């Protein structure tokens, strides 16, 4: 498939301001789809070709419903926005996701994991649990987003492109100040080497180019190396990669001997569950988490077992009868 077609999809994605992660994901599925159909051009395809591909993913690859939906989104985007083609009556709609209750950690389990993490991953994990952040939100924090005086964090363009404030644990004040000092040292070294720019979306780069060398714009968790911006091509310092955090977290969980599937998002689940267990108002928790729909927050009440309203199992009443 000519790269010009792939490039045309990329241009439409960027015109519509899709994130770089979504762009990479969509282009992956489009390439996969084209290879699956022996490099036939999508303009010559029909709805049955989409159905064949989704059947292959589900039956042969055994992908999850979320992965199947992601592939379908990519193909619909390509046909609708790039080729101006729409198909009606597809056998496949968006797959229904299973409603699983989230895994949560007890405070003791969180402490055990933190004990096996070193800087900067200790602080990063502490923010996930202490502030209820998503991993992406924590990684993209900048120095200017930390307000120790007000004990708050500003989350810029969280999920759904929504800004919000969340609380900041007092016990993290000193570690955060130490981290900012480290960022300052790294930044001064970059400036001495003629660099010092941080990575930002293209629109912000054009708008704030003159201030992107300020300390306030630097990532709170900067990468150990500089790189070229994937869109604008300038030399900059990005943040720690997600895979680096995941690797360190996995090692810490293994050392802690915790028999649960723990991911970065587990700490966000644990944050919400602990707040509700302590009596926090569910609307407040919804606001801190940045949930659009209260029903999304209500799942944590089920984790706590509040939906059982103190119901006692009949088995526990047997001893009263026997005695």
The per-residue pLDDT for range 162-208, each reduced to its tens digit, is: 889 999 999 999 999 999 999 999 999 999 999 999 998 877 777 77
Mean pLDDT over 257-283 rounds to 92
Asked if 147 and 281 touch (Cβ cutoff 8 Å), the reply is no
DSSP 89: S
Q: What is the pLDDT of residue 93?
A: 67
Which CATH number is 174's domain given?
A: 1.10.443.10
Distance in angstroms between the alpha carbons of the first and the last residue of the chain: 79
User: Does position 323 have pLDDT exceeding 60, yes or no?
Assistant: no
- Whether residue 277 sits in one domain with residue 205: yes
Q: What tokens were used for 53?
A: 């591909």
- For CA atoms 175, 111, 257, 306, the dihedral sign is negative
- One of 265, 269, 302, 317 is an active-site residue; which one? 265
Beta-strand ranges (E) seen in the chain are 146-147, 152-155, 164-167, 222-228, 235-239
The residue from 82, 109, 141 where one domain ends is 82
Mean pLDDT over 254-283 rounds to 92
Asked if 198 and 232 touch (Cβ cutoff 8 Å), the reply is no
Residue 300 is among the residues annotated as catalytic for this protein: yes
Q: What is the pLDDT of residue 162?
A: 84
Residue 41 is among the residues annotated as catalytic for this protein: no
The count of structural domains within the chain is 2
Dihedral, CA atoms, 94, 302, 281, 274, nearest 10 degrees? Answer: -110
- One of 300, 302, 308, 317 is an active-site residue; which one? 300
SS3 state of residue 226? strand
- Whether residue 78 sits in one domain with residue 103: no
Residue 250 is among the residues annotated as catalytic for this protein: no
- Asked if residue 181 belongs to a domain, the reply is yes
Range of the domain at 256: 99-308
Residue 157 is among the residues annotated as catalytic for this protein: no
- Whether residue 220 sits in one domain with residue 73: no
Give the separation between CA 200 and CA 236, rounded to whole angstroms: 9
Give the separation between CA 136 and CA 178, rounded to whole angstroms: 22
- One of 81, 136, 157, 159 is an active-site residue; which one? 159
Beta carbons within 8 Å of 70's beta carbon, 6+ residues apart = 25, 29
User: Does position 17 have pLDDT exceeding 70, yes or no?
Assistant: yes
Dihedral, CA atoms, 262, 264, 266, 271, nearest 10 degrees? Answer: 140
Q: What is the pLDDT of residue 313?
A: 67
- Whether residue 145 sits in one domain with residue 39: no
Q: Looking at per-residue confidence, does 4 or 161 come out higher?
A: 4
- Please give the angle made by the CA atoms of 26, 15 and 142, to the nearest 5 degrees: 80
- Whether residue 227 sits in one domain with residue 106: yes
- Whether residue 125 sits in one domain with residue 164: yes
- Asked if residue 92 belongs to a domain, the reply is no
- Asked if residue 319 belongs to a domain, the reply is no
- Whether residue 173 sits in one domain with residue 148: yes
Mean pLDDT over 70-79 rounds to 94
Give the separation between CA 198 and CA 220, rounded to whole angstroms: 11
- Whether residue 17 sits in one domain with residue 155: no
Q: Looking at per-residue confidence, does 197 or 323 come out higher?
A: 197
**49-69, pLDDT tens digit by residue?**
999 999 999 889 988 888 999
- Whether residue 156 sits in one domain with residue 220: yes
Beta carbons within 8 Å of 103's beta carbon, 6+ residues apart = 260, 261, 262, 266, 269
Which CATH number is 77's domain given?
A: 1.10.150.130
**79-121, pLDDT tens digit by residue?**
999 999 988 777 766 666 667 788 999 999 999 999 999 999 9
Q: What is the pLDDT of residue 320?
A: 65
* Alpha-helical segments (H) within 163-241: 173-192, 202-208
- One of 10, 187, 239, 268 is an active-site residue; which one? 268
- One of 10, 26, 121, 134 is an active-site residue; which one? 134
The residue from 38, 53, 82 where one domain ends is 82
Query: Strand pairing partners for 152?
Result: 147, 167
Q: What is the pTM of this model?
A: 0.81
Asked if 299 and 265 touch (Cβ cutoff 8 Å), the reply is no
- List the single range of 2-11, 90-99, 136-145, 180-189 with lowest mean pLDDT: 90-99
The residue from 34, 52, 82 where one domain ends is 82
- Asked if residue 318 belongs to a domain, the reply is no
Sorting pLDDT into bands at 50, 70 and 90, what band is 261?
very high
- Whether residue 239 sits in one domain with residue 180: yes
Question: Residue 87, preceding bond cis, omega within 30 degrees?
Answer: no
């Amino acid at each position: 498939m000519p790269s010009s077609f792939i490039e045309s999809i990329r241009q439409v994605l960027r015109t519509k301001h899709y994130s770089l992660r979504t762009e990479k994901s969509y282009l992956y599925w489009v390439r996969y789809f084209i290879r699956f159909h022996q490099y036939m051009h999508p303009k010559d395809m029909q709805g049955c070709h989409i159905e064949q591909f989704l059947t292959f993913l589900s039956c042969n690859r055994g992908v999850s419903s979320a992965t199947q939906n992601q592939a379908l989104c990519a193909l619909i985007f390509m046909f609708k926005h790039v080729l101006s083609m729409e198909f009606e009556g597809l056998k496949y709609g968006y797959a229904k996701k299973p409603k699983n209750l989230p895994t949560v950690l007890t405070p003791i389990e969180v402490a055990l994991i933190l004990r096996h993490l070193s800087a900067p991953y200790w602080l990063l994990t502490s923010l996930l649990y202490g502030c209820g952040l998503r991993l992406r939100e924590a990684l993209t924090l900048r120095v200017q987003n930390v307000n120790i005086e007000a004990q708050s964090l500003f989350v810029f363009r969280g999920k759904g492109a929504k800004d919000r404030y969340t609380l900041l644990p007092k016990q993290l004040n000193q570690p955060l100040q130490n981290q900012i000092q480290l960022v300052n040292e790294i930044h001064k070294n970059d400036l001495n080497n003629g660099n010092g720019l941080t990575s930002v979306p293209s629109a912000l780069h054009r708008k704030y180019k003159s201030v992107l060398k300020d300390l306030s714009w630097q990532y709170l968790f900067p990468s150990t190396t500089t790189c070229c911006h994937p869109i604008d091509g300038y030399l900059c310092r990005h943040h720690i990669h997600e895979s680096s955090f995941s690797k360190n977290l996995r090692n810490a969980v293994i050392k802690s001997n915790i028999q649960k599937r723990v991911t970065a998002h587990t700490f966000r689940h644990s944050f919400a569950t602990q707040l509700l267990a302590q009596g926090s108002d569910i609307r407040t928790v919804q606001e801190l988490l940045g949930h659009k729909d209260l029903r999304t927050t209500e799942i944590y009440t089920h984790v706590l077992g509040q939906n059982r309203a103190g119901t006692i199992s009949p088995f526990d009443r047997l001893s009263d009868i026997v005695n």
